[in-house]
Structure 1
Amino acid sequence: MRSSLRGIGWFVVTAAISVIVAASPAAGADIPPLEQRAAWFRQARFGLFIHWGVYSVIGKGEWVRHTGKIPLDEYNKLTAQFHPTQFDAAEWVALAKRAGQKYLVITTKHHDGFCMFDSKLTDYDIMSTPLKRDVIKELADECHRQGMRIGFYYSIMDWHHPDYLPRRPWEKDRSTEGADFNRYVEYMRGQIRELMTNYGRIDILWFDGGWERKSPEDRAKFREIIQMARSLQPHILVNNRANIGGDFETPEQFIPATGIVGQDGRPALWEVCMTMTTGHGSFAPTAWWGYDRYEKEFKPTDELIQKLIDIVSKGGNFLLNVGPEPSGKIRPEETERLLGIGRWMQRYGEAIYGTTASPFRMLPFFGRVTRKGRTLYVHVFDWPPNRRLVLPGLRSQVKKAFVMGRPDETVGVERSADGRDVLLRLPGEAPDPVASVLVVQIDGPVAVEPVRIEPGPDGIVHLPSHYAEIRARHGQRAKPVSEKGRTYIGNWSNPNDVVVWQFTLPSTGEYSVRIDARMASQAARGQRLVISVDGQSLSGKITAEGVAVTGRVKLAAGQRTLSVKLPDAKRTGPPILDLFAVDLIPERK
C-alpha cells in the first residue's frame, strides 16, 4: 500500500516488510566465498553506470538540488514533470552489449531521495510520475532476458526523507525537530529488502553517500542491512561505500597508479567509476554523473578505450557512466562513444575479458600489457617509428608472437644483448589507430624481473615519463600522451595530480635537477613546479624556454622516490606543463 502522507513522501509499512521477508526463499542461505562470488566480475572487466532521476528535468547534474539550493517543496514539483516516454529498457541493454559491457549499475535512489522503483514505503517514487512504470523492474527484467548482469546503486544520504540527518547547510528553514535517524535506517532497510526481493537476481549492491554517517553506531546499522541483503541474495557483491569495508574498492574519477592490493598483499577487487563528461558544463569544473544539458565536452572514444586498457592492466574493472535525458534517451554523444568502444572490443575483447594485471610494473613504450595465464597481450597505443618494442625484464622464453586478428602475421622475437629483455620487431603499420594488440605466448611460467632505474655510465639518473606513476585522487587530469613516438605527461591542470618515480642509487651523492618539459599553455607562464625527494624540496618557474630548477639535493644510497607537483595549477584552467623527463645530474668533486 502507498502512504497517504504525500507532502512528506515516506512511510515505513511494517506489514509490507513482513510479507517480503516471508516471501524470500533465500533467507538464511550460506554466503559463498568472495572468490566464487567475484568470478564473473573479474571476467567481465567492463560495465555501464547509469545516473538517472528527476534531476534530469533541470539538466544540471544529479546534485542540482544542493548546488542550486532548491527548496524541498519546489524540488518536489519535478515529480509531475518527469515523464520519460522514450525510455526503452531493451534499447539500453542492447546498447551496453554492443559496447562490450557485461554488467550494468543503475541508480535506484540518489541523494535527492527520489526512488526510481515502485516502493511500498514511500510515494516519492516513479509511480507518482506521469509515467507510472517501474523502470527499474523493466531494466532488471531486460538484463535477465539479454544475459546482462545488473547492479543497484542506492544512496545512504537522502535530502528528502524527514528523518535523514544532517540537513543541507543552507536549509535553515527545514526543522530537524522530531527527526529520528534510526527511523530512517528502518526505511532504508525496508527499501533494500524490496530491491533484493522484487527484481530477481541482483549481482551488485552499490552504496554511495555514506560519508556523513561514519559513527560506530551507524556502521553497525549498515552492517546489519548488508547482512540482510546477503541473506536474500547470497551471491551479491557489495561495494565499500557503507563505511564497513566491502567486497570491492571504488576509486572515483581517477585511475590508481599501480592498482590496489588488499591488506594480505594480494590483488584486491576494484572498479574505477568515471564519467564521459569532462566538467565544462554547469557548475564547472565538476563533471556531473546525471544529465547536464550545458555539458558539451566529452572524453574522446580513443581516450576511453585507453583508460579501459589501463585499468584492466592494473587488475581493475571500468564502470563507465551515462546520464540519460529526461525523455529516457541516452545522449547521442554518449551512444557514439559506447559504440566506438564496442567496435574495438569486438576485435580485441579477448585481451580484456578475464585477463589479469600486467606482470610489468613499468614499460618503456606508450601502451599496457594484460595477461591470461601464459599469454601476454601487449596493447600498443603509439606504434613506434622504429617498429621495435622492448618487454623489459621478461626472462621467460617466447613461444610465438603475432598481431591479434592476424595469427599468420608473426612478430619477430629476439633477446637483448645482455639477455635481460625481449625485443619485438613489429610489422610496418599499426593495425589499429587507437590500440593495437600483440599476442605473446610464453613457453612455461611467466617470469619478469622488475625494472630498476639506476644511474647511467655518466652517473646521470634519467627519469623518463613512461616510467612515471601518476598518483591522483578524484578529478584526475594528468595522463600519459604520446607524440611522434615520444611520451610525456600531459593534460596536467590539477594540483592534486603528482608524478612520481622510484629509482635506486648505489652510493650517496649530491645532484642538481634538470627538467625536460614545455609550457602547455600561456596560463603556465610564471607558475611553480615543485620537486620533492627524501624530504628535500626544490622549485622552479615555468617559462617559454622550459623550467629552470635551482639548488641541489643530497641523496643517500638505496631506493629513493622523487615527485613533481604543480601547486599553482587550477582544475578549471588549461593544461600547464608537458613533462617529458627529469634528470638528476651528479655534482663532480
Structure 2
Amino acid sequence: MRSARLHGQPRGNLLLNVGPDATGVIPPQAREQYAGIGEWMQRAAPGIHGAGRAPFPGGFAWGHVTARGTSLYLHVADRQATTLDLPGLTAGPEAARDLATGSPVPFTLSEPDGLGRIVSLELAAPTDELPRTIQLEFAGTPETTGGLVQAPGADLRLDIWAAEAGEDGSRRWEFTMGTPGDYRVVLLTKETFSNADPQWWADGLTGTLVTDQARREFTLRREGEEPYPIIHYWKLIRSEIGQLHVAAPGTQELVLEDLPVVDSKWDKSGANVVALRLEPIGERRDDEAAE
C-alpha cells in the first residue's frame, strides 16, 4: 500500500505481482492485502485517479501528498500522527475533510516571518487499519513559495531529487529553517540488490558535509534502520554525518561533496542516497527510543 501511494504521487504506474503457493493457491495473506489495497483505493480515489505531484519540493515523514485540480490529498501512513503541518503554502485551504468519514478536519493558518503560510491540521484517530486520506479544498490551484521550508520545531527532509547536482558530483540544497537551534544531519541511504539478499554497499564510503559554519569529513556507518516505503525487503540506513547550527530563522545551505552517489541497485561503487534529514538535537525519534 505504501508503494501504491508513492507511485500515485508522480502519476506513476505500479505493477503488483503475486504468485500461488506450491499447491496452486493464492496465499490468504496476499488476498487480504489486495482487498485492503482495493478498499483504500476506493476511499482515496479522488486523490489517486487523475491526481499528480503536489507542489511541495520535498517529502513528509507522516506520508505523501497528491494534487488534483483545486485540492490537495494528504495520504497519512503514520497511525500515531495527531497533527500535520504543511509549510510554504501561498494561500490557506477553504475546507478540510477526512475521506473515510466525511467529517471536517479542524485546521489553523499561521504566517511566521519568512516561512510563507503554514497549515496545521488536528487529526482524529484512525477508524480502521487503512491509511487516512485528508482532502484540502482551495479557492484556486494550490501553490507553494517554491522552496524547502521547515515547519517550526519539526524535522526537515531534503530529498535527493530536490538537490542541485554539480558537475563535480556534489549535491546542494537550499532551504528555510523556522526554528533556531542545533540539528543532527542524518544521511538516509538504501539497501539494494535482491529481495533474498539485500546489500548495503555504502559502508565505509567517505564524503564531506559543507555548511555555512564548517567543512566536515564523514564516513558512512550503519547506525540505524528504517522501513523503505517503496520496497519492503530493503531498509533505509541511517548515518549521522554532522550537525547544523541555526542561529536565526532564514535561508540555509548544505552541500554534499566527495561522496559517490549512484542510482542503480547493481552498482557497488557508491551510495544510493534517498535524502538528508535535519533532526532537532535533544529530541529522540520513536525508532531510536525503541532500540
TM-score between both structures, scaled by the size of structure 1: 0.31
Residues 319-377 of structure 1: per-residue CA shift (max 9 Å, x gap)? 21234568765444433321221122232223212212212121444211112211111
Tell me, in whole angstroms, the C-alpha distance in 1 between the residues paired with 2:66 and 2:118.
16
Q: What value does the CA root-mean-square deviation take over the aligned residues?
A: 5.2
Within the candidate set 191, 204, 216, 1:528 is matched to 204
- Return closer, same or farther for 1:400/1:502 CA change in 2, 3 Å cut-off: same
1:539 lines up with 2:218 in the alignment:
yes
Corresponding residue for residue 358 of structure 1: 54
Q: How does 1:410-559 map to 2 (within 5 A)?
A: 410-418=105-113, 420-452=116-148, 466-469=157-160, 502-503=173-174, 515-516=185-186, 527-531=203-207, 538-540=217-219, 542=221
Instruction: Indicate the SS of the match to 1:359.
Output: coil
- Greater strand proportion: 2
Instruction: Indicate the SS of the match to 1:449.
Output: coil
- Return closer, same or farther for 1:417/1:544 CA change in 2, 3 Å cut-off: closer
- TM-fit CA distance, 1:400: 0.7
Greater RCO, CA 8 A, separation 6+: 2
Residues 42-81 of structure 1: per-residue CA shift (max 9 Å, x gap)? xxxxxxxxxxxxxxxxxxxxxxxxxxxxxxxxxxxxxxxx
Asked whether the equivalents of residues 390 and 421 of structure 1 are also in contact (C-alpha less than 8 Å), the reply is no
Instruction: Indicate the SS of the match to 2:85.
Output: strand
- Greater helix proportion: 1
Residue type at the aligned position of 1:318: L
Residue type at the aligned position of 2:36: G
Q: How does 1:311-326 map to 2 (within 5 A)?
A: 311-324=7-20
Asked whether the equivalents of residues 59 and 159 of structure 2 are also in contact (C-alpha less than 8 Å), the reply is no
Tell me, in whole angstroms, the C-alpha distance in 1 between the residues paired with 2:74 and 2:240.
37
Tell me, in whole angstroms, the C-alpha distance in 2 between the residues paired with 1:392 and 1:363.
11
Residues 104-147 of structure 1: per-residue CA shift (max 9 Å, x gap)? xxxxxxxxxxxxxxxxxxxxxxxxxxxxxxxxxxxxxxxxxxxx
Within the candidate set 97, 101, 104, 1:409 is matched to 104
Within the candidate set 388, 394, 412, 2:89 is matched to 394
1:562 lines up with 2:256 in the alignment:
yes
Percent sequence identity over aligned pairs:
21
- TM-fit CA distance, 1:432: 4.8
Tell me, in whole angstroms, the C-alpha distance in 1 between the residues paired with 2:155 and 2:256.
12
Residue type at the aligned position of 2:10: K
Residue type at the aligned position of 2:219: G
Asked whether the equivalents of residues 92 and 109 of structure 2 are also in contact (C-alpha less than 8 Å), the reply is no
TM-score between both structures, scaled by the size of structure 2: 0.57
Tell me, in whole angstroms, the C-alpha distance in 2 between the residues paired with 1:502 and 1:517.
13
- Return closer, same or farther for 1:423/1:365 CA change in 2, 3 Å cut-off: farther
Corresponding residue for residue 89 of structure 1: none
Within the candidate set 52, 57, 73, 1:377 is matched to 73
Tell me, in whole angstroms, the C-alpha distance in 2 between the residues paired with 1:373 and 1:547.
39
- TM-fit CA distance, 1:440: 0.4
In the alignment of these two chains, the number of paired residues is 228
Residues 184-220 of structure 1: per-residue CA shift (max 9 Å, x gap)? xxxxxxxxxxxxxxxxxxxxxxxxxxxxxxxxxxxxx
Instruction: Indicate the SS of the match to 2:157.
Output: helix
Asked whether the equivalents of residues 47 and 73 of structure 2 are also in contact (C-alpha less than 8 Å), the reply is yes
Asked whether the equivalents of residues 63 and 76 of structure 2 are also in contact (C-alpha less than 8 Å), the reply is yes
Corresponding residue for residue 244 of structure 1: none
- Return closer, same or farther for 1:433/1:470 CA change in 2, 3 Å cut-off: farther
Corresponding residue for residue 43 of structure 2: 347
Residue type at the aligned position of 1:502: W
Asked whether the equivalents of residues 528 and 566 of structure 1 are also in contact (C-alpha less than 8 Å), the reply is no
- Return closer, same or farther for 1:360/1:432 CA change in 2, 3 Å cut-off: farther
Asked whether the equivalents of residues 159 and 274 of structure 2 are also in contact (C-alpha less than 8 Å), the reply is no
Residue type at the aligned position of 2:158: Y
Structure 2: 5+ residue stretches without partners:
163-170, 177-182, 191-198, 225-237, 243-250, 267-272, 280-291
Structure 1: 5+ residue stretches without partners:
1-304, 457-461, 472-499, 506-512, 551-556, 572-576, 584-589
Tell me, in whole angstroms, the C-alpha distance in 2 between the residues paired with 1:559 and 1:549.
15
Tell me, in whole angstroms, the C-alpha distance in 1 between the residues paired with 2:12 and 2:240.
38
Task: State the structure with more CA Rg.
Answer: 1
- Return closer, same or farther for 1:311/1:465 CA change in 2, 3 Å cut-off: farther
Tell me, in whole angstroms, the C-alpha distance in 2 between the residues paired with 1:334 and 1:539.
42
